[in-house]
Amino acid sequence: MRIIIDAMGGDNAPGEIVKGAVEAAKNTELDIVLVGNKGKIEQCLKNCNAPSKIVDIVHTDTVITMEDEPMSILRAKKDCSMAVGLRMLKEGGDAFISAGNTGALHAGSSLIIRPVKGVMRSGIATILPFTRPVLLMDCGANVTVTADYLEQWAIMGTLYMKNVLGISEPEVGLLNNGTEECKGTQIQIDAYRKLKELDNIHFIGNVESREIPDGPCDVLVTDGFTGNITLKLAEGMAKFMFGQLKTMYTKNAMTKMSFLVMKDQLKALKKSFDASEYGGAPLLGLQKPVIKAHGSSDAKAITNAVYKAEAFIRTGVITEMEALMQKYDRRPVRKQTENNENKE
């Protein structure tokens, strides 16, 4: 099984990426390939005392940055580590992992790897790391959506949570501004009706955002705009609260002492918000597994991403998705729309 990793993507690249890849290679039989600047990667391998030939290296000098336009992955930066990695995945790899530019990864994946037949739009699914983890999809790839996309994402999210996270009957919610069936824009109203009628998912209805931290469901579908706002606000609120606690605990000698009593529990709570345990955000709906690791990924996050990629492949999520999505490909109206869009 060949896992390709973008060694140059993310805030801590290439050091932490290489370290995480080596760790995964040591613990598995996987064939791991690092794409990026060969000299830098070799230096990182030396720094972490990696056994020789534990990973393969494919050299490229170009890197796509966070400031680059997503579409530059196919144009000015078509030789960047992310683009090279995606083409390698297309031509015989089993999964691709990158902590780089999310927009570019999604654009590149959609056009190089292509969606599963029948899938209207692939999207980014992120695990919100609460006591009951919630897979939120889409988290920013598709700012405008149709009810049909949400319907398909509910199926894809269900398959991922069932197969990769081992949840037996994942519950699906629709993120909305109220619990009543009539709530939301026309998109949510239509999506509610479609989701209610689906027989291969367990739809629990509309979910309000205030319920999210309590884990109201396993899969939460929404448009990429709202998903992005939700994901970042949850992160921002957690960071804010820990910042406030830090200020409070460092106030004086007494509060510093009281911190010692609570230290382990607070650390555990902070760790529970660490999404790296879940091995990154899968791009669902593509013909091959692509995983977006968090921009701030450390070695552990990359190692976990490799493990999740392996589970993604082994459990046959995509094969199952192909079977379920065939019915959508038969819908003549949608086919026509898709074709028109492809012609543009």
Residues that bind a second copy (CB under 8 A): 130, 140, 143-144, 175, 177-178, 184-186, 208-214, 224-226, 228-230, 232-241, 244, 248-249, 251, 254-255, 257-259, 261-262, 265-266, 269
Find all residues with CB under 8 Å of 221, minimum gap 6, and list them: 137, 138, 150, 153, 154, 157, 172, 173, 174, 175, 191, 195
Phi, psi of 119 (to 5 degrees): -75, 125
Q: Select 247 or 319, whichever has its Cβ closest to a second copy.
A: 247
Please state whether the peptide bond connecting residue 68 to the residue before it is cis, i.e. omega within 30 degrees of 0: no
CB of 231 to a second copy, least distance (A): 8
Rg of the chain over all Cα atoms, to the nearest angstrom = 21
CB of 112 to a second copy, least distance (A): 23
CB of 157 to a second copy, least distance (A): 18
Report the alpha-carbon distance of residue 117 to residue 115 in Å, rounded: 6
Pairing relationship of beta strands 290-292 and 95-98 according to DSSP bridges: parallel
DSSP codes joined into one string, 64-92:
--TTS-GGGGGTTTTTBHHHHHHHHHHTT
Q: Select 94 or 223, whichever has its Cβ closest to a second copy.
A: 223
Report the alpha-carbon distance of residue 67 to residue 77 in Å, rounded: 12
Report the alpha-carbon distance of residue 108 to residue 45 in Å, rounded: 28
Report the alpha-carbon distance of residue 152 to residue 149 in Å, rounded: 5
| Helices (H), ranges, 100-199 | 102-108, 147-163, 186-197
Spatial contact of 4 and 309, defined as CB atoms under 8 Å apart: no
**Please, is 330 exposed, middle or buried when counting C-beta atoms within 10 Å of its C-beta (0-12, 13-18, 19+)?**
exposed
Q: Select 163 or 222, whichever has its Cβ closest to a second copy.
A: 222
Q: Select 236 or 316, whichever has its Cβ closest to a second copy.
A: 236
CB of 311 to a second copy, least distance (A): 29
Q: Select 27 or 255, whichever has its Cβ closest to a second copy.
A: 255
CB of 10 to a second copy, least distance (A): 18
CB of 178 to a second copy, least distance (A): 8
Show the CA angle centred on residue 120, arms to residues 203 and 235, nearest 5°.
60
Q: Select 47 or 244, whichever has its Cβ closest to a second copy.
A: 244
Q: Select 239 or 331, whichever has its Cβ closest to a second copy.
A: 239
Q: Select 76 or 241, whichever has its Cβ closest to a second copy.
A: 241
CB of 101 to a second copy, least distance (A): 12
CB of 255 to a second copy, least distance (A): 6
